[in-house]
Amino acid sequence: MESATPVIVAIDGPAGTGKSSTSKAVAAQLGLSYLDTGAQYRAITWWMVSNGIDIDDPSAIAAAAGKPEIVSGTDPEGPAITVDGVDVAGPIRTQEVSSKVSAVSAVPEVRTRITELQRSIAASAAQGIVVEGRDIGTTVLPDADLKIFLTASPEARAARRSGELKGSDVHSTREALIKRDAADSSRKASPLAKADDAVEVDTTELTLAQVIECVVTLVEEKRAGK
């Protein structure tokens, strides 16, 4: 069997749509690299918090945006992320980082820095890559071979997300998700938006296995048609 053409897949959508689980599983199944762009924004946010940068001061965030060295592993079976050589896979998932990541992500200098990092990782993926985030199809990789936009009802997303976040109740999680969506959709730099040429997949009524199967099929069709 000849090696398949490398394919760049962009998967966007708000939190709680099954984006990470789907992206990792699809990449693993098809032998592609995987990049969680949200983890990169969390990593730079973690660094800002750890270094006492005032999160309410965009100019302070902008001034520090170039300082941390962020390295993302692209193995879907175990995606690693380090900042200045420190493994931050755990620390970046705390509530403190979650509550501040939108503010840090909205700063244009941060987006420029992280976007460049994402593009270089995608360009160097020999077999192809699944890149998941919020602005991949629109801003980061507008020429991606396949763009997918995952959606789900706020209720379904809150139930999934509160299952991930131990000890959080569905109602407060739903409120937080809606607030985060509003912040991400209205920011000036690369807002959360569906690309015109993206395939929308509503995951509200689907199991994770069904979502994965759907996306794998889309990628295989794209590969076959290239």
What is the value of pTM for the model shown? 0.86
pLDDT at 1: 40
Token code pair at residue 174: 């739903």
Handedness of CA 211, 213, 214, 220 (dihedral sign): positive
Three-state DSSP at 177 gives helix
Confidence of residue 2 (pLDDT cuts 50, 70, 90): very low
Residue-wise pLDDT tens digits, 54-87:
999 999 999 999 999 999 999 999 989 999 999 9
- Can you say how many angstroms the Cα of residue 138 is from the centroid of all Cα atoms in its chain? 13
- Which residues make beta-bridge pairs with 202? 151
Token code pair at residue 50: 């750890």
Three-state DSSP at 82 gives strand
By C-alpha distance, which of 54, 20, 50 is closest to 37? 20
